[in-house]
Chain A
Amino acid sequence: MNLFRLLGDLSHLASILVLLHKIQTSRSCRGISFKTQALYVAVFVARYLDLFWRYISLYNSAMKVFFIGSSCYILYLMKYRYRPTNDPSIDTFRIEYLLVPCAILSLIFNYNFMPTEILWSFSIFLESVAILPQLFMLQRTGEAEAITTHYLAALGIYRALYIPNWIYRYFTEGVIDPIAVTAGIVQTGLYLDFFYVYFTKVLQGQKFELPA
């Protein structure tokens, strides 16, 4: 564990708490892509079920339980409790365009051709693109509530912090994880446009609005 990874994980944790806060206080999931949230459940379940056979640390296990539990809870909130505020007509990204290529990639690129390792690779690839339905929705509506942008920023910062973490681990431990690093760089890249608007507008007190 190093500082970059710890701060990254905390940022990930914060992003989920911000999202839950947004839904609970506004009693609405307006502006949140159900598809992205469903993809995160798939990501966490595919990757973190190793909880049952691979113990790393209490920290690691507790985080895994939290991520699986909170992502399922968010789906429940969107699908049942605040269902009327969820508008599927603007959440139109075709997720099969993500699921199928990720499944194929995970069969080709994995560290061991066995179900658990293929699932791990699949979750890494899927996580890297799971935000696309959400970004697509943002692009379509052209604006977002400030709190939704804080959620996305925290999520993007989490990914960005994993990059210095890998650099640090390469020099201190000599380990390199090409699958995670490649997918992680792609994933962080997807946030660049968003970050630009977030840092130049939202943090200056302006509304998050995309140029027409």
Chain B
Amino acid sequence: APPVQGHDEL
């Protein structure tokens, strides 16, 4: 599954 890994983008 895609990026709940952090939302590291602004």
Contact = CB atoms under 8 A, between A and B. Distances in A.
Contacts of B4: 111-112, 117
Contacts of B8: 56, 60
Interface in A81-127: 111-112, 117, 120
What is the interface of chain A mostly: helix, strand, loop, or mixed?
helix
B2 A12 contact: no
A67 B3 CA distance: 23
Interface residues of B, number: 10
A175 B1 CA distance: 10
Nearest to B6: A56
Contacts of A17: none
Contacts of B9: 5, 162, 165, 177, 180
A117 B1 CA distance: 14
Nearest to B5: A175
Contacts of A9: 10
Interface of B: 1-10
